[in-house]
Every structure is written in structure tokens, then in C-alpha cells.
Chains A and B, each alone.
Chain A
Amino acid sequence: MSAPIAKLTKRDFESDQEIRWCPGCGDYSVLANVQRLMPELGIPRENFVFVSGIGCSSRFPYYMNTYGFHTIHGRAPAFATGIKLSRPELSVWVITGDGDGLSIGGNHMLHVLRRNVDLQILLFNNRIYGLTKGQYSPTSRMGMRNKSIPMGVIDSPLDPLAFALGAGATFVARTVDVDAASLQDVLRRAHDHKGAAFVEILQNCPVYNDGEWAEIENKKTRVEAGLPLEHGGPLVWGAKGKRRGIRIEHGVPQVIALRDDEDPIAAGITVHDEKHESPGYATVLATLAPPEFPIPVGVLRAVERPSYEALLDKQIHDATQARGAGDLRKLLHGSDTWTVEG
């Protein structure tokens, strides 16, 4: 029997399987943070389902002592949709990567987001194929040299958050593998969101793409590299003496230097509004990137829209109200029958 919810701890969510990620992989930290968060969500352990596709990150469900389904490459959002629309009471988490979720599975990602199925989708972005040992992914930077294109990548990379926003996602956020505070905050927000919650996790692959996110992972440089987002707060970042803000006008972002004591709002710095009706604002945020801009971290967009499975259940409910529960005998008879007498 499962322990009472109140007594669940991180250990209750650790499976007995030996973890087989490379030493130093960013996935360890994400796993530990997810396991730490689970007992705090007030959900019985048996109601969690972790669904994944193929890739390093997709081994994740094996290490969670919950229900788990390690499916096929790129299709996890579709399996998860099947689970969630069948059983809306379950808390269903999709674990995917930049290759799994945006290359082979790009189509499913698009559709699960526009349908707004109530899932938590964690996309581990390390900008490389790790499990197949170092080929470029759809998020790899132009010019990056790797095993499958030794002279450097020549296809323009995809921005996961802009993709999600373009697909109509109602919740879009970004966090960093080793930033426990941000992970805890963003994952909890993702869980609380009703609908598809898309979270990009910047994740280091120490073997095939080491240091891709070094500046934002390193606590010392993070303050300069990252733009922490807070709903209702101004878009400001930087250490003392190097304080800056972002002003977005007519969709164009601009960096404004600030004195340490200057009021950013008076200085015209944009105030973050994750509930902005149009995804345009969040899309501007999503495309901010170094070297000119910091990397936004936190919730870019969180708007309310009915979830797919809720609408589906409403149709079932309405049909049953209007026509009564299904009567098989009536259905088989249809509208025109005739009787052959014996």
C-alpha cells in the first residue's frame, strides 16, 4: 500500500533502478528536483505517470517510483494525451529532449500544445544528440562542429519556446538544470497550470556538448547571463554597477543601462506580464539571446484556456444528459428494421 500522502518523502519517489546517465550529466539534478517536488504536490504517488520518448532524458521514468511509460521516439506527447484523456485525474508528466521533442516529435509537440492537454512537458535542451553519441539536434547552433557534420551545422536552429508559443501553448517557461530554486518554482507552476505546460530545461551534456549553458549554470556568472522573470516585476538583471533593463517597444527589445538606485519602471523598462493576451510579447522574450541579451528564466506565459480533456468530458456529459446513457439495443437496431417471422 502507498504511504499516506502527508508522509511521502523524496525517497518514496526514487525507484530501485541504477541510474545510468554519464557522471556530471544535468539530468541528475533535474531528477533530484522532481523527486523533491513530488511529495509536496499533495497527490497520491500512484496517480503520477511519467511518459517519455527516446533519448538520454527519456530514461527518466525508470528512475521514478511512479507509473512510467518509456515509449517510442518523439511520440511521448501522443501517448500522454491518450493517458490523460482517458484518466483526467492522473498527473501526467512528459519527459523529452530537443531531438525527441522537436525533431522527430515536432508534429506531436505542436498538436499537444495547441490542444492544451493538461500535461507537464519537460523538454531537456542540451543542443545535441547524446544517446547516439554526438550528432547535432534541431537546437544546435549554426556552425557547431560535431560528428554528423564535421564542417559545422548549416541549418538554422529552432527556439523551443518560440515554437511552443507559436503552437498556442498556454504555459511556457524556461529553467536551468542546476538551478534548484528556479526548477522548484517553475515545475510547481507547471504542475498548477491547467493545460499543457511547456518547460524548457537548459541542460548540460558533459560528454558531447559540455559548457553549452555554462554562463547561466555557473552561479557566479548567472546574474549577468540570465534574466529572471517575475510576473508584475520589471525586466531587469545584472550585478551592482552593471544593472540593466529591457524595454520592449513595438515588439522590439532594447537594453537600457540603469543606475543601481534608478526606478526601472520610471526609466521605461517593460513590466513582465505573463498573462498577456497575445503571445507576441512572450515571443519577444523567448527570442532574447546572448550575446546582446540575457537568457530569460522563469514563466514567460501563463494564460487560462479550457484543457482538451475537460472539453472532451464535457461533450460526454452533455451527450449523456441530452440523449441518456447509451442503449446498445437501440443502437444496434438503428432506424430501419424489419422482422422475419418464424
Chain B
Amino acid sequence: MAQVQAPVASPHPSGRKPQERLDRVAIRFAGDSGDGVQLTGTKFTESTALAGNDLSTLPDFPAEIRAPAGTLAGVSGYQIHFSSEDIRTPADQADVLVAFNPAALRASLGEVRRSGMVIINADAFTDRTRERAGYTADPLPDVRERYRLVEIPMTRLTFEALKDLSLSQSEAGRSKNFFALGLMYWLYGRPIEATVAWIEARFEGEIREANRRVLMAGYHFGETSELFPVSFEVPSAKIEPGVYRNITGNTALALGCVAASVTMQRPLVVGAYPITPATDVLQELAKHRNFGIKTFQAEDEIAAAAVAVGASFAGMLGLTVTSGPGLLLKQETINLAVVAELPLVIVDVQRAGPSTGLPTKEEQADLLCALYGRSSDSPLPILAPATPGECFSVMLEAFRLAVTYMTPVIVLSDSYLANSAEPWRIPDVEALPRHPVKFRTEANGFMPYLRDADTLARPWAIPGTPGLEHRIGGLEKQDGRGNVSYLPENHQRMTDLRREKVARIAREIAPLTPYGVDSGKLLVVGWGGTYGAITTAVDEARARGHDVASVHLRHLNPFAPNLGDVLRRFERVLVAELNSGQLVRLLRAEFLVPAESLSKVQGQPFKVSDVRAAIVRLLGGE
């Protein structure tokens, strides 16, 4: 971080105004997609992490890069929930809304708790902008009645702070998000230094000076304005000791891939085609050429997968990253990797809806596609991280399984994990498990499909190795020798072997331990990014005396070996997932348990209250 000599304010004002202590706060920033809302949210998040709070964030942005200004379609939101206690979700409702225009107010007011604080840029509320947002009457009187409305002329105050600079009106206007950011720093006692340092490093000339000044102006406005009689303090949380950083799921996926390459001592080759919400992973990996990482932006999703499989054939760690529509296009290539028995990792950052659907929105509905979306019998392991931080370790596991079992592995992340951020305890690099790749080099007795007795994996024999010249491909292979075979009994045997090979992975999956209680009335089962909402709902329901537990599945194929036992220890099983009931179908089929479904497909994550209400409904009472 750059050293700054900026005239920064003290993070804790010297008591000119009283401070009130809070356990947790959820703030939602909302504005036009050009207003810098995501940036404002990200900077607030960084400072909050530096303040030592536990936190969870949720960006919520439109698919359009620049929808018409001032319309509902163009509203971009960013919610951050931070606390002095352990929290796992971005909160069902915001305590504070910062709305940069009427459209942002209209789109977000429903997300604010009753009598919460609503801060608006009063300069952005004119007859014309209200009309653009679809208001037929002035909404503010009603807002005043139901919320604590704070009207601030942010645009004018921004211009005022910049009047002696030679910036154009539109350049100056662009700084106003820093006014809101500075104000919120004061209001919640956040350290401002990191953002000042970032502005110094990121911008140049008058723009740098403008952003810095406006940030400070917002901060001092809080201190001096009569509008805020108190500021708030959210003490730091009790967190496991260690070195932390903020991380989003997509960044963690990318870093996990780099770590896999380093610990397995093989270069990573990434084939990818830009697709929301997975593109960040390609972009992050593209920065790290000095790790020997070869990222390749392919002509399409198919070529992206094919390049990764080609790389794997040549002895590299092959990775392809995509979202649902791309997964479909890759399935034939993945099927080849299943038959050719080559390692490959496919990351699907799931998004909402069939076809193009809702590209920036949340859903976890590609499970059955990942499991069954290829022609014929084509088993492969499937993993799903539960938190942004877990995206890191899941990639280490995915590559290890791919190489150990010579199989493609699908990792199902989702758009909520991809974009939400949480504090992440940085692992000790020295303590990361090392699994250096071993290739077959011995020519004596070599056969391309001769299997390891334990894992059933075939040898990884790469071009350039004398004496191991062999041919593989999509035609059914003779077990052992690997020649093309049309024999009926051989196809049966190879089909059985491919299934058994994947099934054996279950032996190394740690047994599941239910969260809350080991047996009882109700077990909530989840997978992927719903972890925070489910466990928080279970905590809340248990606090009210409900006999409920949860279990969260990271391994979706094969399942943890004791999953059937765990399910049967509870009278009822509720499977909560953001699809129309995919995992529930698998559990019913696999274990013959009468599992029930809690399903939501609205392009949004579960709220804690969604899950809590379902628990209460099933258990009665309240």
C-alpha cells in the first residue's frame, strides 16, 4: 500500500458528537450503473474489513453496461452487512439505503427495513428524474413517514468542494459517489486511510485531487452537519487469529487455480470464453503470466474446453471456466475427457434461467446438467463451494481429484458466491498440501488403459516420453490395451469401470457432521452458495427452540459416504436450493428418503427469513 501524507481525518472523531454502539449494520448503496456504486461498495467493504468486522456483501447489478440513465433497468446496487459477531449473509433487509437518484430509491426501498435510514442525493430528485423512474407523484413525503429520510444536496456539495479546480461539470459530478462514501465512513467510524491511499495510487492530476477532496468533504459533512446527531460504532468481531484479506468467490477460484499449479508443480493452461458471471476468473488468471500460467481466450466455449483437454493430454493442468450456457456447449468435449480419461477441471459459475436467462442473477440450477447433461453414461465428480473463501480450497481439491483419478471434474460455483465478498483467512502457503504430478515414464509393461488397482486411474503418459507412443480418442477403448473396441462385454466393462472409478472417490470424502444437532426432527440440506442463509436460519430457529439441524454438501458426486445415515437420523428432511428441486430429486432417488423441497427461483439468493419460515412451517408452532 502506498504511503500517504494526506490530511486524513481520525477514524474515530474526537467525541464532538456522541457515538452509539451497534452489533450489526446492513447498508445498501444504489444508483445508476454509471454512478460508481460497485466501486463505492467495494471501498466501503475494504475499510470495514480493515476495521476488523465480520462482513458479507452482495453486489446486485443489471446486465446492461449502461442502461438509460435514471431508469429502473439501470439501477445498480451493493449491499454490505457487517458486524461485531459472526455473520454469513448480506442480510435480508438493509438498515440504511444510500440512493443516488429516484430510480435507485424506487428499486431499493423494498429492501430497506421499516424505519431504517434512507439517504438521498437531493439534487437528483427533480420532476424529470422522478418521472423517468416511473413515479407519478413525489415519493418523498411517503418515505419521510415510513423511514428516516436524510436529504443531502450531494451534487452541489461536490461542486462546492471542487470550485477552484478546472474540472468540467461532468468530470466533477462523477466524484459525488466519494462524497457518499466519505459520509458513510464518518457515520460508521470506518478508517478512511486505505481509500485515500487507493485514490492516490489509482488516479492522476486533478481527478485525483477531486476524488480525495470530495471523499474528505463527505466525511467532514457528517461531522459538522446537523443532520447526523450521532455516529455509530460497530466493534470489531471475534475472529480466528491470522492474516486476513477480503475475497470474492471469483477471485478465490482464480487464486485456488494458481495454488493448485504451484503445489502440483505443473503449469496451468486455461481455455475460456468471456461469459457473465465467470469472466473475472479468466481475467484474474490472465494477470499471472509470471506463474507460467497460459490463459487462452478461445473463439468459443467449445474451443475453450478443447484447448484445456489438449493441454491436459500434453501434461498440463487443463482448466476451463464458464457459466451455464457455456457448460452446455462444452459437454461433448467433457464427454471425450470422460472416455479418454484425462484430467480436466470445468468451473461453472452458475447464473439464472435457461438460455440467456438472467445473466447477472443468482441461481443454482445446473446440478442435473453437470451430472446428467452428457450423452450416454458419463460419470464425473462434482464439487460445490459454500462460501467465497471455500472457492479457494475447492479448486485445490478439484485438480487433485482430476489428476489422481484421471477424470474431468466439475466445480459448481454461482453468481452470488462469485461476486460476494467476505474476510478470508489467508492460508499458510507452506502448509498447503503438496501433490506433485507423476507421469508414467516406464515403457516396460505400458498400456494406456492399464489401471491403478486402488484408484482405477489409467496412467498419465504424455507426448515426448519415449516408448509410450499411443493413441486415445472418443471411440470406446479396449480395457488395458486401449485399442478401439466394439466388443459388447468390453463396453459393459468400461462403463462399469468409469462409474466405479468416480464412486471410489467417496472413500476420501470426510464424513458429514450435521450443524446444530446430530439427530432429531428436521434436517435442512443445502449445497453451494446458500450456506450462509441456511445456517443462519438454523441458528435463529434453534434459538427459538426448534429441533432443527443442517448439513451442507460440498461433494455432489459422489456424495459423502455417510450422507444416507445422516438423512435417516432425522424425521424430516428439507432440501433448500435455488432451483425447482434438483438435489432433492437425487437424494430421494439415491436414499429413498421422503425429502421435501424448499425451492426459490427469483434470481436472488435465499433470505434467512425464507429458510427460517420453511423450518417453522414444517415444525409447526410460533
**Could you tell me if A87 and B473 are in contact, using CB atoms closer than 8 angstroms?**
no
Query: A316 at interface (Cβ–Cβ under 8 A)?
Result: yes
* CB contact under 8 A between A44 and B311, given known A72-B336, A72-B474, A85-B296: no
Within 8 A of A (CB), among B325-365: 332-333, 336, 340
**Could you tell me if B469 and A86 are in contact, using CB atoms closer than 8 angstroms?**
no
A62 to B475, CA, bound (A): 11
Contact with A along B461-484 (1 / 0, CB 8 A): 001111111111111000000011
* CB contact under 8 A between A332 and B307, given known A72-B332, A78-B302: no
**Nearest B residue to A3, CB-CB:** B466
Give, as a whole number of angstroms, the nearest-CB distance from A27 to chain B. Answer: 16
Query: B246 at interface (Cβ–Cβ under 8 A)?
Result: yes
Contacts of B292 in A (CB 8 A): 316, 320, 326
**Could you tell me if B269 and A85 are in contact, using CB atoms closer than 8 angstroms?**
yes
* CB contact under 8 A between A332 and B255, given known A90-B314, A337-B244: yes
**Could you tell me if A107 and B426 are in contact, using CB atoms closer than 8 angstroms?**
no
Partner of B467, one of A1, A82, A312, A322: A1
For the complex of A and B, the 10 pairs showing the least CB-CB separation, nearest first, are A82-B310, A70-B473, A326-B291, A342-B241, A78-B306, A68-B471, A319-B289, A82-B307, A78-B303, A79-B310
A64 to B469, CA, bound (A): 9
Instruction: Mark the stretch among A45-53, A265-273, A296-304 that contacts chain B.
Output: A45-53
Partner of B310, one of A52, A61, A80, A329: A80
A90 to B474, CA, bound (A): 22
Within 8 A of A (CB), among B301-333: 302-303, 306-316, 318, 332-333
**Could you tell me if A325 and B271 are in contact, using CB atoms closer than 8 angstroms?**
no
**Could you tell me if A62 and B484 are in contact, using CB atoms closer than 8 angstroms?**
yes
**Could you tell me if A325 and B290 are in contact, using CB atoms closer than 8 angstroms?**
yes
* CB contact under 8 A between A86 and B294, given known A46-B463, A336-B50, A338-B49: yes
* CB contact under 8 A between A82 and B484, given known A87-B314, A319-B290: no
**Could you tell me if B464 and A65 are in contact, using CB atoms closer than 8 angstroms?**
no
Contacts of B315 in A (CB 8 A): 86-87
Query: A339 at interface (Cβ–Cβ under 8 A)?
Result: yes
Contacts of B242 in A (CB 8 A): 339-340
**Could you tell me if A79 and B309 are in contact, using CB atoms closer than 8 angstroms?**
yes
Given A79-B306, A108-B299, A337-B243, 7 more pairs with CB closer than 8 A: A49-B463, A52-B473, A79-B313, A86-B314, A111-B299, A328-B429, A336-B245
**Nearest B residue to A326, CB-CB:** B291
Query: B288 at interface (Cβ–Cβ under 8 A)?
Result: yes
20 contacting pairs across A/B (C-beta < 8 A): A46-B463, A51-B310, A67-B470, A67-B471, A68-B473, A70-B472, A72-B336, A78-B303, A78-B310, A83-B311, A86-B269, A108-B303, A111-B299, A322-B290, A328-B262, A338-B244, A338-B245, A339-B242, A340-B244, A342-B241
**Could you tell me if A337 and B271 are in contact, using CB atoms closer than 8 angstroms?**
no
Give, as a whole number of angstroms, the nearest-CB distance from A172 to chain B. Answer: 20
Give, as a whole number of angstroms, the nearest-CB distance from A271 to chain B. Answer: 37
**Nearest B residue to A20, CB-CB:** B484
**Nearest A residue to B318, CB-CB:** A82
* CB contact under 8 A between A83 and B314, given known A15-B471, A338-B244: yes
* CB contact under 8 A between A335 and B1, given known A1-B467, A71-B474: yes
**Could you tell me if A82 and B290 are in contact, using CB atoms closer than 8 angstroms?**
no
A2 to B466, CA, bound (A): 5
Partner of A331, one of B258, B299, B307: B258
A85 to B411, CA, bound (A): 25
- Number of A residues near B (Cβ < 8 Å) is 65
Contacts of A79 in B (CB 8 A): 306-307, 309-310, 313
Query: B267 at interface (Cβ–Cβ under 8 A)?
Result: yes
**Could you tell me if A333 and B243 are in contact, using CB atoms closer than 8 angstroms?**
yes
**Could you tell me if A67 and B303 are in contact, using CB atoms closer than 8 angstroms?**
no
Query: B259 at interface (Cβ–Cβ under 8 A)?
Result: yes
Give, as a whole number of angstroms, the nearest-CB distance from B335 to chain A. Answer: 8
* CB contact under 8 A between A62 and B471, given known A319-B290, A332-B426: yes
A218 to B261, CA, bound (A): 55
A108 to B303, CA, bound (A): 7
Query: A315 at interface (Cβ–Cβ under 8 A)?
Result: yes
**Could you tell me if B307 and A78 are in contact, using CB atoms closer than 8 angstroms?**
yes
Partner of A326, one of B46, B290, B299, B312: B290
Within 8 A of B (CB), among A112-146: none
Partner of A315, one of B243, B255, B289, B429: B289
Give, as a whole number of angstroms, the nearest-CB distance from A161 to chain B. Answer: 21
A70 to B194, CA, bound (A): 54
Give, as a whole number of angstroms, the nearest-CB distance from B610 to chain A. Answer: 32
A31 to B464, CA, bound (A): 22
* CB contact under 8 A between A67 and B271, given known A87-B314, A324-B290: no
**Could you tell me if B294 and A323 are in contact, using CB atoms closer than 8 angstroms?**
no
Give, as a whole number of angstroms, the nearest-CB distance from A326 to chain B. Answer: 3
**Could you tell me if A340 and B258 are in contact, using CB atoms closer than 8 angstroms?**
no
Query: B427 at interface (Cβ–Cβ under 8 A)?
Result: yes
